[in-house]
Amino acid sequence: MATQEYIRKIKVRGLWNVCDLVWELSPEVNILSGSNGSGKSTVLRCLSDLFTRGAVSAGHRCRMRSIEVEFADGRRAGSDHPFDPAAFHVAVISTFDTTLQESEAIYKLSDGTVATYLDWELYRLQNRYLTYQLEVGKRVIAALQAGRTMEDITSLTTRRTQYFDIIDALLEATGKRVDRESDTLQFRTQYGTMISPHQLSSGEKQILIILTTVLIQSGRDFILIMDEPEISLHFDWQRRLIDDVRTLNPNLQLILATHSPALVMNGWTDRVTEISDIVHPMAE
């Protein structure tokens, strides 16, 4: 990372009320592994709570006494004192496609297209994606007006082109392609018809949410947290996930928990931390 805004250390006190945990992180890729019931998802979900709610939810808080995050620039955030998560550049992605509770507000907002958690995340991403597209367009127009070279102008859209290429490669087997002319996320099928993101499969929605979340950061330093991102993803998609994410933004810090060996197959085994190696008896 170009700046010091990444998580350097995560401390958990009283995990399951039997042990403490200290996880030293790298600025790039960090993968937490362990058997079922070892606590890795609990750690990731409490971490996710911190950066979405500013506090750990009651359902997760009962599984640990406290969690504290230390950033490389010296700032700290934790469960003992509520804080504003907007002060940190952190994105949290949940990959569990559960049915949403009925909500008249959500139904009206989405014209009835939102039925699951992934649908809701896609709906919220659409506006941010549109804003990203408009910002890229403005930069291109400004470059043209300034008489910049074609090479300079093309460089402004390189990341977006990479995003389109990655998604098209992932969807190739199903005959779908991104509609590159649209300012919103739309897909063209092999039969020439247009479909919306809400018509994709769970796995397709999931990978789209991950890649779009990374894209709209426009290469800025930020932290991406994911718990078991392999759920619903094809084996080949799991294998290339980390590389695809880092292609779109090499400046992000990735923190994830996984059961899948496929995720680390492309040279990431040295970034795996076994949870049993970072826990120790609980301090009194």
E strand or H helix at 272, and its extent? strand 272-274
CA dist list (Å): 5 to 67, 90, 139, 227: 19, 10, 26, 21
Given this model, what pLDDT does residue 131 score? 95
Q: Are 239 and 262 in contact (CB under 8 A)?
A: yes
CA dist list (Å): 209 to 11, 52, 128, 179, 197: 29, 16, 12, 16, 10
Q: Are 225 and 44 in contact (CB under 8 A)?
A: yes
Q: Flag whether pLDDT at 115 surpasses 80.
A: no
Q: Are 43 and 268 in contact (CB under 8 A)?
A: no
Q: Flag whether pLDDT at 220 surpasses 50.
A: yes
Tell me the per-residue pLDDT of 3-47, one tens digit each, with 9 for 90 and over: 457 999 999 999 988 999 999 999 999 999 988 888 898 999 999
Share of the chain above pLDDT 70, in %: 91
- More confident of the two residues 1 and 76: 76
How would residue 104 be classed by pLDDT, with cut points 50, 70 and 90? Answer: very low
Given this model, what pLDDT does residue 178 score? 96
- What is the rounded average pLDDT for all residues in the chain? 89
Nearest CA among 208, 245, 244 for reference residue 225: 245
Q: Flag whether pLDDT at 116 surpasses 70.
A: yes
Tell me the per-residue pLDDT of 117-132, one tens digit each, with 9 for 90 and over: 788 889 889 989 999 9
Q: Flag whether pLDDT at 95 surpasses 70.
A: no
pTM, entire model:
0.90
Question: How big is the chain by its Cα radius of gyration, in Å?
Answer: 20
